[in-house]
Amino acid sequence: MPRTRLSPPPTELPAEPTQARRFGKARTAQSTALLEDYAELIADLIAAGGEARPTDIARRLGVSHATAIKTIARLKREGLATSKPYRGVFLTELGQALAARVKARHLLVVRVLEAIGVPVEAAEQDAEGIEHHVSDITLSAFAAFLRGRGE
């Protein structure tokens, strides 16, 4: 029997494979969230100013320059980015596709949060976490919800 919004949570644990799948999904999302944030920011910096320098990336993400360099190296290993000396970081085709998916997911989550009354700044901040963990099924439900409202 499906739970309603007001029903209490179940008192028994889900089956082990079900629970393991849920936790596994969260761990996978956490490991990719960092790369997604970097790809999205790099795309935004390039769109706004034509380049994404490691110094700018570090400042905007609130991390050290060394941390940014380390993560940019991971982006390169994953085939998501390239860099040129004295020119900054650029996304590969694969990186651009990732950034576009993340941006679309982010905007959809923000729109839903705003639609249920969350203030803009809180919606933007909360979307930064939610966007990495939300499933495609939930994103489809979000889009259907907004369409139902005429948005």
Q: Closest by alpha carbon to 103, among 26, 31, 37? A: 37
pTM for this model (two decimals): 0.78
Name the DSSP letter for residue 11.
S
Q: Please give the average per-residue pLDDT across 76-94, as a whole number.
A: 93
Name the DSSP letter for residue 46.
H
Q: Closest by alpha carbon to 96, among 139, 52, 60? A: 52
Q: Closest by alpha carbon to 71, among 35, 36, 46? A: 35
Confidence of residue 32 (pLDDT cuts 50, 70, 90): confident
Residues 129-149 have pLDDT tens digits of 899 888 899 999 999 999 988
Q: Closest by alpha carbon to 134, among 33, 19, 2? A: 33
- Catalogue all structural domains in the chain, each as residue range(s) with its CATH number: 23-148 (1.10.10.10)
